[in-house]
Amino acid sequence: MKRDFEFKLAEWYARQYFYLGTPNGCVNQCRRVSQGFVDTIRPLVRRRRSIPLPQTVEVTGCRRKFPRRHLWHRRNPKHSRYHIMIIWQGVVIDFTRRQYDPRARFPHYETLEKTRRDWRTVKIERRK
């Protein structure tokens, strides 16, 4: 599922934000971290013209029941309905997944099809 180049860049970026590996550290950080990844990676990828640019994905309406969501989400349920991730060559990368599932891999990878099953709406940003 993952490509080597993209996987290495995502792992490198995740190490810069090591605190996102904890449920407390990643709460309410999805927009900042995801957009930061796209802004950081795009200049590197533009030099390698054969690789498409990463894009942000806005998802709403979680269909899945996460058994151990962070307390912040239980107190503010409206925030559990909106989330931002990255899509890059068909692979969805979620740097803040542990706010929903503390046992998730960091960063979390899944297919776009799985993301569409877990969320009611999936909106991919337009390419720039």
For the segment 10-56, what is each residue's pLDDT rounded down to a tens digit? 899 998 888 888 877 877 888 999 999 999 888 877 777 777 888 99
Instruction: Tell me the CA end-to-end span of the chain in Å, nearest whole number.
Output: 25
For residue 1, pLDDT over 50 is answered with: no
Two tokens, residue 13: 């970026």
Rounded to a whole number of angstroms, the CA Rg of the chain reads: 14
128 vs 52, higher pLDDT: 52
For residue 94, pLDDT over 60 is answered with: yes
Q: Residues 73-93: pLDDT tens digits? A: 555 655 556 789 999 888 999
- What whole-number distance in Å separates Cα of residue 65 and Cα of residue 29? 20
Give the pLDDT of residue 75: 58
**Phi, psi (deg, nearest 5) at residue 105:** -65, 150
Domain boundary assignment for the chain? 4-124
Q: C-alpha angle with apex 52: 96 to 85, nearest 5 degrees?
A: 15
Q: What is the DSSP letter of 89?
A: T
pTM over 0.75: yes
Packing angle, helices 30-46 and 4-16, rounded to 10: 130
- What whole-number distance in Å separates Cα of residue 6 and Cα of residue 76? 34
Cis peptide before 102 (omega within 30 of 0): no
pLDDT category of residue 128 using cuts at 50, 70 and 90: low
